């Protein structure tokens, strides 16, 4: 029940609940990956079952697709959708310009493709995800398995000329084996500390042979919905320059998320 949630989970819940209200009947919606996005999928599933909401969801990972189907959301591919009305996703970090670091869940490639194929991208996050400068969260970079160590060396060499505090790249692991993305690639996590010029870093990384995509989302996010543990919600729209505040009440008997394992 929501009454049993930790403050951080309550913050994710209220952000997801508010974002779900943006979804209208008949929309094609990109569904993000990660713990906060999972709350959203459950909220939308409830709206489908209880309110008759009709939407088609384009998931950004196999696990999001499985969750969406399990709660009754119609799942289609991006090729079937062609274009999306809205994408709602989480973020590992966001700054005042709504630039993001994403990819902590390993789905950055599909997440970026889906987000850029949308009329509007909304990020849902708890307040702890807001930072003055991106980079404290390790920046994920998806690389092909062939020659990944050479790619890692090229990445670290490129970072020497960048405005960053750290330059170490580590291969993400899944137990004793390299982590493998849905596209069959590996992920290098860059421990940068602070990124002075995210746009430049994103551009330079994607020019390195072997790099598929990086987790910097620049000029992609339109709106961020920030949840707080006490039920407060703040919505910032960077295009309209607006900031709205609201509060959602928790329903102690709501067991919508009791079986959700993030």
Q: Report which DSSP code applies to 3.
A: G
Report domain extents, the chain: 2-131+219-247, 139-214
The active-site residue out of 24, 80, 93, 111 is: 111
φ and ψ at residue 207, rounded to 5 degrees: -90, -5
Catalytic residue flag (residue 111): yes
Looking at 3.30.70.260, 3.30.420.40, 3.40.50.11030, 3.40.50.2000, the CATH number of the domain 139-214 comes to: 3.30.70.260
Helix 35-51 / helix 62-70 crossing angle, nearest 10 deg: 30
Measured CA to CA, the distance from residue 238 to residue 233 in angstroms comes to: 16
Cβ 247 vs Cβ 229: under 8 Å: no
Per residue of the chain (262 residues), give pLDDT as tens.
445 789 999 999 999 999 999 999 999 999 999 999 999 999 999 999 999 999 999 999 999 999 999 999 999 999 999 999 999 999 999 999 999 999 999 999 999 999 999 999 999 999 999 999 999 999 999 999 999 999 999 999 999 999 999 999 999 999 999 999 999 999 999 999 999 999 999 999 999 999 999 999 999 999 999 999 999 999 999 999 999 999 998 664 455 545 444 4
Mapped onto helix, strand or coil, the DSSP state of residue 102 is coil
Detail the residues annotated as belonging to a binding site for substrate.
33-36, 89-92, 102-105, 129
Domain 2-131+219-247 is found in CATH 3.40.50.1360: yes
């Amino acid at each position: 029940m929501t009454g049993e949630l930790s403050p951080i989970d309550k913050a994710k819940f209220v952000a997801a609940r508010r974002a779900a209200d943006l979804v209208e009947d008949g929309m094609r919606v990109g569904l993000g990956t990660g713990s906060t996005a999972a709350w959203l999928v459950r909220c939308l599933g409830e709206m489908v079952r209880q309110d008759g909401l009709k939407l088609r969801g384009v998931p950004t990972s196999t696990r999001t697709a499985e969750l969406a189907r399990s709660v009754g959301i119609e799942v289609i591919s991006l090729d079937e959708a062609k274009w999306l009305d809205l994408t709602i996703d989480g973020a590992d970090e966001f700054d005042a310009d709504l630039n993001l670091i994403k990819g902590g869940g390993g789905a950055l490639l599909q997440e970026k493709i889906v987000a850029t194929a949308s009329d509007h991208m909304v990020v849902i996050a708890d307040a702890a995800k807001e930072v003055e400068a991106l980079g404290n969260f390790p920046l994920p970079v998806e690389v092909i398995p062939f020659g990944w160590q050479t790619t890692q060396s090229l990445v670290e060499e490129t970072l020497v000329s960048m405005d960053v505090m750290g330059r170490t790249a580590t291969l993400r692991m899944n137990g004793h084996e390299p982590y493998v993305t849905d596209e069959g690639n590996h992920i290098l996590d860059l421990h940068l500390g602070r990124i002075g010029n995210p746009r430049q870093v994103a551009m330079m990384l994607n020019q390195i042979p072997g790099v598929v995509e990086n987790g910097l989302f620049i000029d992609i996010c339109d709106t961020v919905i920030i949840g707080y543990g006490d039920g407060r919600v703040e919505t910032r729209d960077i295009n309209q320059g607006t900031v709205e505040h609201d509060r959602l009440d928790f329903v102690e008997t709501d067991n919508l998320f009791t079986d959700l394992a993030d």
